[in-house]
A and B are shown apart, each in its own frame.
Chain A
Amino acid sequence: MDDIEIKVRETINQLNEEENLNIDFPESYIEDLSKAYIANDLTDDELQKLIRKLKQAYDRAHVEAGEAVGTVAAQSVGEPGTQMTMRTFHYAGVTELNVTLGLPRLIEIVDARKDIATPTMDIYFDEDRRNDEEFVRTLANKIGKSTINDVLLDFNLNYGTQEVEAILDSKKIEEKRLERDEINAAISKAFKKAEINGDRIIVPVSKSDKSDSKFEIRELRLLADKVRDLQISGIKGIGKVIIRRDDVEWIIHTEGSNLKEILDMEGIDHVRTTTNNIHEIGEVLGIEAARQSIINEAQNTLSEQGLSVDVRHIMLVADIMTSEGIVKSIGRHGISGEKSSVLARAAFEETGKHLLHASIRGEVDDLTGIIENIIIGQPIPLGTGSVGVKMDYKKE
């Protein structure tokens, strides 16, 4: 493949030199050309012709200066919203996981919400481990939240002695690939007075107020819940995990997400492992990754509903959200609220606040935007309004 890409590049260079065609294709085009070259078994002459034709088409398809790309992008992303269903709640491929989809998810993305309704992760493994079921299962149990309740064999409340007795199931522990020591450590950390005796664990009620007997039963029961729900393994922020085998490898899907810690683990494919939490990606991998994540998430949400929207529109939305180095939301707390024009802000939301603040701060509106010029009744500086005609004085 690489040889062919080099060949395509060379042909382009040759054409540039010989005929001064000034071809400057983006990377992806060269890839496509190479693929087409192989698939169609082209001759060198045909490749030249193909490049020439592509160059022609590329020039023709170029955006015109002054084009209102922003408005078109906003409309192209917004219009399909009316055709989306509200309540699709399934994850493509894995029926066991609930994931917000459809319009609510799209709104979540453009809002750049910090805590999304259903964070999930897709965890992939590096080449050595992706077929190692044992490794994947061990890791899944390490990541996923397990409580005492998951490994119980028997559970009793002793009202007489005010004790909770839990008997662990070694089989389940083994199945879950948990470490005995870690469980014990977790228990003794949470319940100082716990007695650990092999599988048998006895936790007495901490004697604080023994006079009122009514409270004792309540306290015992509360303690029982506490014991049962004690987390014995798992990463913060991650709940359920689902292990799935697709055609070639094992994948872990999680409910909840913690990209930073997962990426720190051994055997993880750092390239493909991902989360649907955009802010988390921004924090861990940087703003460029957050931008890509916005593009991916928005595109997936739209295409999952069978709506095709050109990536370029979504890219523009993602770019404006991330252009200042942090993920900003679309709306009054983000981009629209930070516009330089007073009139533009006042016309969007919170009219009074913006006008009052502008007046004491002595703000100046330069009237460079669209809405400001509409408000004062002047032609807008966009499209045909962005160009003017000048007289050439020197000519007679």
Chain B
Amino acid sequence: MKGFIKKINQINFGLMSPEDIRAMSVVTVETPDTYEDDGFPIEKGLMDPRLGVIDPSLVCRTCGFRGGDCQGHFGSIELARPVIHIGFGDVIHKILRSTCNECGRVLLNDEQIEYFTETIREAMDNKESLNAILKEVYKAAKRELKEMPGEDEEVDMKYCCPHCGAPQEAISLDKPVTIRQGDYKLTASEVRERLEKITDDDAFVLGVNPEVARPEWLVLTVLPVPPVTVRPSITLDTGERSEDDLTHKLVDILRINQRLHENMEAGAPQLIVEDLWELLQYHVTTYFDNEASGVPPARHRSGRPLKTLTQRLKGKEGRFRSNLSGKRVNFSARTVISPDPNISINEVGVPEMIAKEVTVPVYVNEWNIEEMKKYIMNGPDIHPGANYVIRNDGRKIRVRNEETKELILEQLEPGFIIERHLKDGDMVLFNRQPSLHRMSMMAHEVRVLPYKTFRLNLCVCPPYNADFDGDEMNMHVFQTDESRAEAKSLMRVQEHILSPRFGGPIIGAIHDHISGAYLLTRDGVEFTEEQALQIIRKSHLRLPEFKGGQWVLKSNPDLKPDMEVPSDIEESYIFKDKGAMWTGKELFSLLLPNDLNLTYKAEISKCPVVYPEEDETVVIKNGILVQGVIDESAYGSFSGKILDKIVKEYGPGRAREFLDRSTDLAICGIMKTGITTSLNDEEIPDEAQARINEHLDKKMAEVDKLVESYEEGYLQALPGRSLEETLEMKIMQVLGEARDMSGNIAENYLTMGKQSDDDPYEHVMAVENHSVVMARTGARASMLNLTQITACVGQQAVRGGRIERGYLNRTLPHFKPGELGAKAKGFVHSSYKSGLDPIEFFFHAMGGREGLVDTAIRTAQSGYMQRRLVNALQDLQVKPSGLVTDNQGNVIQTMFGEDGVDPAKSDFGKPADLNKLIDEIKMESGMIGK
């Protein structure tokens, strides 16, 4: 960051008085036109050169700066007649209603005035909202009469001004800006006169702060004309000029203003003047807000409604949300993403094309000057090059050709800034929309790679919620050392392995990473020494020590290599004789920290048959995988136990290393064994199909019986339900069972491989079903998906129940009216593999459509909810004292979450798992005991 950053301390809001507007104005615009035929702007026209210039070749007549540096100057239009400001229509109405029609005093007695002045002042001092108080003021000051009394009629004092005693006639607002007293329509001039009569003190009670605004300023007599920089005209390719919407609107105002002026001077009849006045009001109204209710929007010649002042500010595409809260930035890139398991989780593969376009500014100093020279030599087209050089005098020079290169090299001295290409190891910010949580923006290290996509490690897909079906992601390059340092310590991928949402890992293995580890670590997987060493090498693991004719897979780092191994901790070692077979579990153990101890149930323990049974309980002892297989529960995202323990106990750096190496190892595992899937995986024997059919028939009969019992009237209604609802619920239940049971039958035939020692298969890998492996290990899909393919798809639901809609009393003309059977209401007997019949297909599409609509609506709804939540909570912060306060200093919590624990640093919401601590203590004391 260069230079002194001006700090804005506060922003005061206020109204501009007509005098202010005139004083600010550099030209009184009178001509309702922009340019002469020769292309020069008309003097006193809307493009008067005194209003500022856009073209960099011109000099501004007011400030003397060139276009681009001149920020523009306001002009003004003297309105022939006053006009009400559309935004203040209801405020004016409320003020007039609360003030005396005769004397202009506020319709409150002195006591009330004092009380409200006090209350408002207090609220303003406390920065509280005035809305509620003002509502009360307006209510208290309302004393309108329904009908004005005759001359000498007695009027109740509560309808009279407490100051002058005049009875108050009702004042009404005819939206948007017409104000009536009784039946008489007040002109803007009359409204203004009345507002002028209000004293400053009274105005304060009515919510108009006399320090910054006067009530009569709510009625405009002079209109500011924004500078041309606010409403630039566009020159089309044809040479035709196209004016901004605001300019169009100002032309309209000026034209009517002129006519009104002329007519008034010529002494035209009242009627004509009033018509023109109303027209002027309309144009000024739409100039401010073209979407005001009750006003037909002003349109462009093409019929498109004009975008005037309010439209520029409002809404998602408005100035506030689109240009102020979020801005377009330089040094960013966006392209399609694709996977690369060979890069680390905290890296991102950046295409060379992008690396040459976005740059990093580097200060030249005497230590890096040689390196910088090399970059300049390379220039903008050869990869580690440079695009721009900023000299000590602040001039920015583009590195273009050999000449400029030489020139720069000649001048180059410490203090220059070189905008060099992105190179390996640079920190960049990587992001995928929608950015729903902080893990949607993480800092990665650059790896410049060939081709044109961003490459990312698969483990970071869950936090970004990315896949590779065409997703695009954004990259931002840090431009200052402060930002780079901050990102490096706070935003790097490994700092976000644990999600602050629940205190568990969100970055972790998915898909083949999981199935690969399973295929590698399950029982019976063996490799020859050569294969094993190949795998170790390929997965960038450290080669185990070879000592005394043996491989030492695990060793105590405290022991010197030549020391005798104490016999009591021998179990923390694995010795491998040269030439012996290696198991996959041993290979995986190489990844684990030496003192890791852990026992948990593997994901596959959820399957009915696990072979061999030991595989379902994972035991890690002193960093050795003693038994069990590695699957989703080990290091999957959201659920990885080993990963969780490593991040929490060995730190994010070690966890990153673990994930990187395990990716490599899993890939080796999957490449050694191979994995493939096809429809054959969903094949079941005829006997199974017969059983399923038999079962489905039985359940259908059950449904028929239920329907029968309903029709014959002996079905008992459940408490609180009608007979029909009861029947629906019972049928749903039976059909649910039907699907589940047929699924279970199929599941028994879909097995991962060998089921027991009696199985005739010689080797585990001989017969295995990779679809099932994927489902069971949690890599992808679920058993439900598989059984829907093999056995039976099941009931299709719309709005949480069986399918009801369609024809009168039936879903399709294929059924009898009133039919209640399974098939008639959307039960799909077929499996995806056998194929759905047309009726089933139709019902399936109905259910599928509902899902799609549901998702579309949900994203919109949850997006808005999140925007509201963030907006409401964003100002909260933890103070050094531990208090949680908002930006006004209001205490929201005395201690964050009642115990002050950061969920991102917690162990699933607790500062520590007591059982883990106790295990640790027991182990420590056990060691001492020995």
List residues of chain A with CB under 8 Å of any chain B CB. Answer: 26, 28-29, 32-33, 36, 40, 42, 46, 49-50, 53-54, 57-58, 60-82, 84-90, 95-97, 103, 106-107, 110, 240-243, 308-313, 315-317, 319-320, 323, 330-331, 334-344, 346-348, 351-352, 355-356, 358-371, 374-376, 378, 381-384, 386
User: Whole-angstrom distance between the alpha carbons of A57 and B649 in the complex?
Assistant: 11
Find residues 862-894 in chain B having any chain A CB closer than 8 Å to their own CB: 862-863, 865-866, 868-880, 882, 884, 886-888, 890-893
Other-chain residue from B10, B862, B911 in contact with A103 (beta carbon distance below 8 A): B862
Whether, in the assembled complex, B909 has its beta carbon less than 8 Å from a beta carbon of chain A, the answer is yes
Whether, in the assembled complex, B503 has its beta carbon less than 8 Å from a beta carbon of chain A, the answer is yes
- B91–A360 CB distance below 8 A: yes
> Shortest beta-carbon distance, B499 to chain A, in Å?
8
Chain A residues lying within 8 Å of B897, measured Cβ to Cβ, are 310-313, 315-316
Chain B residues lying within 8 Å of A36, measured Cβ to Cβ, are 914-915, 918
Interface readout for B437-467 with A: 1 if CB under 8 Å, 0 if not? 1100000000000000000000000000000
- A75–B896 CB distance below 8 A: no
- B436–A79 CB distance below 8 A: yes
Other-chain residue from A54, A73, A338, A370 in contact with B875 (beta carbon distance below 8 A): A370
Given contacts A53-B912, A359-B13, A361-B130, whether A72 and B500 have CB atoms under 8 Å apart is yes
- A96–B874 CB distance below 8 A: no
Chain A residues lying within 8 Å of B862, measured Cβ to Cβ, are 78, 81-82, 84, 103
Chain A residues lying within 8 Å of B890, measured Cβ to Cβ, are 323
Other-chain residue from A62, A64, A362 in contact with B209 (beta carbon distance below 8 A): A362
Between-chain CB contacts (< 8 Å), 16 pairs: A50-B914, A50-B917, A62-B905, A63-B900, A70-B873, A103-B862, A240-B720, A312-B898, A336-B868, A360-B208, A360-B212, A362-B14, A365-B11, A367-B8, A376-B11, A381-B887
Given contacts A76-B501, A320-B892, A336-B868, whether A310 and B873 have CB atoms under 8 Å apart is no
- Interface segment out of the listed B363-371, B545-553, B676-684, B851-859: B851-859
Whether, in the assembled complex, B320 has its beta carbon less than 8 Å from a beta carbon of chain A, the answer is yes
User: Whole-angstrom distance between the alpha carbons of A207 and B24 in the complex?
Assistant: 79
- A66–B877 CB distance below 8 A: yes
**Chain B residue at minimal CB-CB distance from A90:** B800
Whether, in the assembled complex, B395 has its beta carbon less than 8 Å from a beta carbon of chain A, the answer is no
| Interchain residue pairs A-B with the least CB separation, the first 7 | A312-B897, A70-B876, A78-B866, A81-B862, A362-B209, A70-B873, A57-B912
Other-chain residue from B11, B858, B874, B880 in contact with A371 (beta carbon distance below 8 A): B874
User: Whole-angstrom distance between the alpha carbons of A167 and B638 in the complex?
Assistant: 63
**Chain A residue at minimal CB-CB distance from B876:** A70
User: Whole-angstrom distance between the alpha carbons of A21 and B861 in the complex?
Assistant: 49
> Shortest beta-carbon distance, B804 to chain A, in Å?
14
**Chain A residue at minimal CB-CB distance from B857:** A86
Whether, in the assembled complex, B921 has its beta carbon less than 8 Å from a beta carbon of chain A, the answer is yes
Chain B residues lying within 8 Å of A241, measured Cβ to Cβ, are 720
> Shortest beta-carbon distance, B386 to chain A, in Å?
28
- B873–A316 CB distance below 8 A: yes
- B9–A362 CB distance below 8 A: no
Whether, in the assembled complex, B542 has its beta carbon less than 8 Å from a beta carbon of chain A, the answer is no
User: Whole-angstrom distance between the alpha carbons of A91 and B394 in the complex?
Assistant: 69
Chain A residues lying within 8 Å of B5, measured Cβ to Cβ, are 378
Whether, in the assembled complex, B799 has its beta carbon less than 8 Å from a beta carbon of chain A, the answer is yes
- A75–B13 CB distance below 8 A: no
Chain B residues lying within 8 Å of A361, measured Cβ to Cβ, are 13, 124, 130, 207-209
Chain A residues lying within 8 Å of B211, measured Cβ to Cβ, are 362
Other-chain residue from B888, B896, B914 in contact with A32 (beta carbon distance below 8 A): B914
- A40–B918 CB distance below 8 A: yes
- A78–B7 CB distance below 8 A: no
- Interface segment out of the listed B310-318, B745-753, B773-781, B819-827: B310-318
Interface readout for B824-867 with A: 1 if CB under 8 Å, 0 if not? 00000000000000000000000000000010011101110110
Other-chain residue from B854, B872, B910 in contact with A87 (beta carbon distance below 8 A): B854
Whether, in the assembled complex, B902 has its beta carbon less than 8 Å from a beta carbon of chain A, the answer is yes
Given contacts A89-B800, A365-B13, A369-B875, whether A46 and B925 have CB atoms under 8 Å apart is yes
- A347–B893 CB distance below 8 A: no
Other-chain residue from B124, B321, B502 in contact with A347 (beta carbon distance below 8 A): B321
Chain B residues lying within 8 Å of A346, measured Cβ to Cβ, are 313, 320
- B899–A376 CB distance below 8 A: no
User: Whole-angstrom distance between the alpha carbons of A383 and B720 in the complex?
Assistant: 55
Chain B residues lying within 8 Å of A33, measured Cβ to Cβ, are 914
> Shortest beta-carbon distance, B478 to chain A, in Å?
14
User: Whole-angstrom distance between the alpha carbons of A334 and B88 in the complex?
Assistant: 24
Chain A residues lying within 8 Å of B15, measured Cβ to Cβ, are 359-360
> Shortest beta-carbon distance, A29 to chain B, in Å?
7
Interface readout for B173-211 with A: 1 if CB under 8 Å, 0 if not? 000000000000000000000000000000000011101
Chain B residues lying within 8 Å of A363, measured Cβ to Cβ, are 12-13
- A76–B720 CB distance below 8 A: no
**Chain A residue at minimal CB-CB distance from B213:** A360
- A320–B873 CB distance below 8 A: yes
Other-chain residue from B315, B729, B879, B902 in contact with A62 (beta carbon distance below 8 A): B902
Across chains A and B, the number of contacting residue pairs, with CB separation under 8 Å, is: 339
> Shortest beta-carbon distance, B128 to chain A, in Å?
8
Chain A residues lying within 8 Å of B729, measured Cβ to Cβ, are 95
> Shortest beta-carbon distance, A208 to chain B, in Å?
34
Find residues 125-160 in chain B having any chain A CB closer than 8 Å to their own CB: 127-130
- A309–B876 CB distance below 8 A: no
**Chain A residue at minimal CB-CB distance from B211:** A362
- B8–A81 CB distance below 8 A: no
- A364–B13 CB distance below 8 A: yes
- A343–B11 CB distance below 8 A: yes
Given contacts A106-B865, A364-B12, whether A352 and B872 have CB atoms under 8 Å apart is no
- B858–A242 CB distance below 8 A: no
> Shortest beta-carbon distance, B510 to chain A, in Å?
16
> Shortest beta-carbon distance, A95 to chain B, in Å?
6
> Shortest beta-carbon distance, A115 to chain B, in Å?
19
User: Whole-angstrom distance between the alpha carbons of A342 and B924 in the complex?
Assistant: 59
- B501–A79 CB distance below 8 A: yes
- B872–A370 CB distance below 8 A: no
Whether, in the assembled complex, B397 has its beta carbon less than 8 Å from a beta carbon of chain A, the answer is no
Listed residue (B500, B872, B884, B904) with the most chain A CB atoms within 10 angstroms of its CB: B872
Chain A residues lying within 8 Å of B910, measured Cβ to Cβ, are 32
- B873–A96 CB distance below 8 A: no
> Shortest beta-carbon distance, A146 to chain B, in Å?
12
Whether, in the assembled complex, B324 has its beta carbon less than 8 Å from a beta carbon of chain A, the answer is yes
- B213–A61 CB distance below 8 A: no
> Shortest beta-carbon distance, A14 to chain B, in Å?
18
Given contacts A74-B870, A110-B865, whether A356 and B88 have CB atoms under 8 Å apart is yes
Given contacts A315-B898, A335-B872, whether A310 and B893 have CB atoms under 8 Å apart is no
**Chain B residue at minimal CB-CB distance from A45:** B925
Whether, in the assembled complex, B735 has its beta carbon less than 8 Å from a beta carbon of chain A, the answer is no
- A49–B12 CB distance below 8 A: no
**Chain B residue at minimal CB-CB distance from A322:** B892
User: Whole-angstrom distance between the alpha carbons of A88 and B888 in the complex?
Assistant: 40
Listed residue (B289, B310, B859, B914) with the most chain A CB atoms within 10 angstroms of its CB: B914
User: Whole-angstrom distance between the alpha carbons of A221 and B434 in the complex?
Assistant: 58
Chain B residues lying within 8 Å of A342, measured Cβ to Cβ, are 11, 13
User: Whole-angstrom distance between the alpha carbons of A312 and B910 in the complex?
Assistant: 11
Chain B residues lying within 8 Å of A106, measured Cβ to Cβ, are 865
Chain B residues lying within 8 Å of A90, measured Cβ to Cβ, are 800
**Chain A residue at minimal CB-CB distance from B288:** A352
Chain A residues lying within 8 Å of B861, measured Cβ to Cβ, are 81, 86, 103, 107
Task: Taking A334-B872, A366-B10 as given, write out 19 further A-B residue pairs in contact, using a Cβ cutoff of 8 Å, ordered by the A residue number.
Answer: A29-B911, A58-B911, A62-B900, A67-B896, A70-B873, A70-B874, A75-B436, A78-B865, A96-B720, A319-B884, A336-B871, A347-B321, A351-B310, A352-B313, A359-B13, A359-B213, A362-B209, A365-B11, A374-B324
Other-chain residue from B11, B718, B921, B925 in contact with A53 (beta carbon distance below 8 A): B921
**Chain B residue at minimal CB-CB distance from A58:** B911
- B877–A85 CB distance below 8 A: no
Given contacts A26-B898, A312-B897, A331-B868, whether A347 and B877 have CB atoms under 8 Å apart is no
> Shortest beta-carbon distance, B502 to chain A, in Å?
4
